[in-house]
Structure formats: structure tokens, C-alpha cells
Amino acid sequence: MNILLNGVGRIGKAIIRIALDTKAFNIIAINEINSNIQNIAYSINYDSTYGRYHDLFIVDKNYIQNSTTKIQIINEQNISNIDLEKLNIDFIIDASGISHQYNKLINLNTKAIFLTHPSKMADTNIILGVNEQTLDIKQHKIISTSSCNATALLPVLKLIDDKYQIESGDISTIHPMLNHQKVLDASCIDSKNREVTCNFEFGRGATQNIIPSKTTTIEACSYILPYINSDIFSSSSLRIPTQTVGVINVTLFIKNSCTKEQLLKLFEIYEQTQTFDILLNNYAPLVSSDFQAQRFTSIIDHRFTDIKNNQMIKLVIWYDNEWGYASKVVDIVKFTILKFKK
């Protein structure tokens, strides 16, 4: 199956490296608004977070290529202007972060479009370990792969809810800085995805501050499991001056009583029997950088797992918000390809 990658930012670059290294599928074209093809190759080859790529790309006219792969570079502002049939494209992975109009996406001549952000307008939002079995390739053409935070949180919530029934809870996401933030204090930043016209806090220096923020994590979860919503969950977020790896502080109140031993057993069994690389139990004295480039996306740090009165659960969940999330995007695309091949 041939893939067009739309956008080669932080997530797009991670998807390229993971897809190539795991031989997951063929990325034959990249659409990127950056018109400097030398810079596109450079940005894939060298990354300040994940290091130098082992098989460097070089530029050949309007292609980048290395020893195994040749990728055509396209510079279209609107993916609707790309002749997908001529390129023989089967799927699009949209890692641009742009909010597209549904009608424009649904009419594209391709089998499916994967959006690397939560989307209420998508035909379905998928998180592995939660609802992948509901994917119907006859009905679901626009597929959201949700967010890094929801991808880390929701498999754990579902596992606990299925067994002990969550009544309410609170989450706080501690998230690394992102490209839309400022290095030094500057003017406010708008966020169309969060319906914010001028966010004062994100205009402050990202490397100098812990910046409080709202989070759309619970909203993203509700697109998949409607009962996990803001009626029963409070939430907040702190943006911190690190390059990657986030952590979610979770407090849950459950209906059915549970001991710490029972909860640990539940997590251990899941880790041993899971289909995808989702949940990892950690007992070691690790810090955030130790989880960098980790494929598992729900890493429960059991140094902090606790239960009070058999009905209040405390958890800490680590995840690499770039590499880990991108690995799940790749897995969802692979999962969808297999459905088309059956």
C-alpha cells in the first residue's frame, strides 16, 4: 500500500523513521509547505531529540532518497490539488495539524485518510487497546488517531472501568514544550483547535517557565468512549521546559472495591496478553528521559500506584508524546491495511 504523508513536522518525521525501520508500509510521497527540499531532507536526517538517522537521505531533483527508499516531494498548500490517482496513492497520513473541511477530505480519491489529531468530524477516532475492533473500512474513510495524551490515558481507563467502574476522576497532564510556543516572552498565541484567539500564557518563554494550560485530553477520550467525559472528569495541564516525554497524574474514584494487589495483577495480565505495544509496567527508579523513543504509550510507574479505602486509585502514566504516539499512528495504519487486504 502506498502512502502520502501530508506534513513533515515533529510527528511526521517520527512516522517516517518508524515506518522505514519497521518496514510498515511505503511512504512514496510527502506533501510539505516548506519548499526547500534540501531542508526537508536535512530535518529528517538530523534531529536534536532522536539523533542522526542511520540511513541519510539525499536530494535528487524533486525526490529525497536513501539506500532503501525514494520519496517524491510535493509543495501544495491544499491536498485536494494533488493528483492522487497519478501517484497511485492508497492512503494519506495527515500530520499537518490543519483542520480540514470534511467534504474536501471525503471526496479525495484514496481509500482512507488518517488525521494525527482528535477530530469530532472524523468518521471514527481510534485508540489501540480501546476500540480498534470497531473500525469498519466500508464506513470509516476519515480516521482520527486521536492525541498523544488520550492514547496514553484511555487504554488504562478502559481497563479499570471494565473491571471496577469509574465514577469520577481527575487528570493533570505534564507535557513537554511544543513548536507553537516561544523561546522568549512574546505576544499571545492563537489556537484554532482550542477555540482560543489569544493565549497569553503560551506567549511566555517556554524554556523559562512551567506554563499552566487547559487540556483537550478528556474531550478526545469522549469521542471514543462517550462516558469518559468532562461531566465525571476534571482536568488541567502543565507545559514544562523539556523536549519530549509527558506524564499524566491520575486520580480515580471507582464503584467496585479494589486492592492494590488486585490492580497490579490486572495490569500485569494485560501487559502479558496485549496485542499491541501499549501498556508497560515500570517499577524501576527512572526519570522522563529514560522513556524517550519508547514505543509503549501507557507506561504505568508503580512507584506511585496507590489505593485509598479500596475505592480511590492513584496512578502516574509516562509516554513519549512524539515517538510513542507516532508508533501508534503507524500501528493503526498497518491495522487498517490488513483489513483492506482481507
> For position 98, what pLDDT does the model report?
86
Superfamily of domain 149-321: Dihydrodipicolinate Reductase; domain 2 (3.30.360.10)
For residue 204 the three cell numbers come to 511566555
Q: How far apart are CA 29 and CA 6, in angstroms?
A: 9
Kindly list the strands in the beta sheet with 70-74, ordered across the sheet, starting from the edge strand earlier in the chain. 58-60, 63-65, 70-74, 26-31, 2-6, 91-94, 112-115, 142-144, 124-125
> For position 193, what pLDDT does the model report?
58
> For position 194, what pLDDT does the model report?
61
For the chain, how many residues are written? 342
Q: How far apart are CA 97 and CA 116, in angstroms?
A: 7
DSSP 273-342: H-SSS-EEEE-S---GGGGTT-S-SEEEETTS-EEETTTEEEEEEEE-TTHHHHHHHHHHHHHHHHHHH-
Provide the terminal-to-terminal Cα distance of the chain, rounded to the nearest Å.
13
Ramachandran angles phi, psi of 166, nearest 5°: -75, 130
Q: What is the C-alpha R_g of the chain?
A: 20
- CATH architecture type of domain 2-116: 3-Layer(aba) Sandwich (3.40)
Ramachandran angles phi, psi of 318, nearest 5°: -90, 155
Q: Which residues pair with 251 in a beta bridge?
A: 170, 314
H or E element that contains 156: helix 148-164
Q: Which residues pair with 170 in a beta bridge?
A: 234, 251
Q: Residue 131 in 3-state DSSP?
A: coil
> For position 192, what pLDDT does the model report?
65
Parallel, antiparallel, or unpaired for β 58-60 and 211-213?
unpaired
**Best CA proximity match to 222, nearest among 164, 271, 149, 162:** 149
> For position 197, what pLDDT does the model report?
81
The Cβ of residue 165 has, within 10 Å, a number of other Cβ atoms equal to: 10
**Tens digit of pLDDT at every position of the chain (342 positions):** 999 999 999 999 999 999 999 998 999 999 999 999 999 999 999 999 999 999 999 999 999 999 999 999 999 999 999 999 999 999 999 999 888 889 999 999 999 999 999 999 999 999 999 999 999 999 999 999 999 999 999 999 999 999 999 999 999 999 999 998 999 999 998 876 566 788 899 999 999 999 999 999 999 999 999 999 999 999 999 999 999 999 999 999 999 999 999 999 999 999 999 999 999 999 999 999 999 999 999 999 999 999 999 999 999 999 999 999 999 999 999 999 999 998
Q: Residue 157 in 3-state DSSP?
A: helix
> For position 196, what pLDDT does the model report?
73
Handedness of CA 30, 31, 32, 36 (dihedral sign): positive
For residue 181 the three cell numbers come to 510556543
Q: Kindly compute the dihedral angle of the four CA atoms of residues 205, 207, 209, 212, in this order, to the nearest 10 degrees.
A: 80
Position of cell 480516521?
Answer: 143
Q: Residue 24 in 3-state DSSP?
A: coil
Domain spans of the chain? 2-116, 149-321
Q: Which residues pair with 318 in a beta bridge?
A: 247, 299
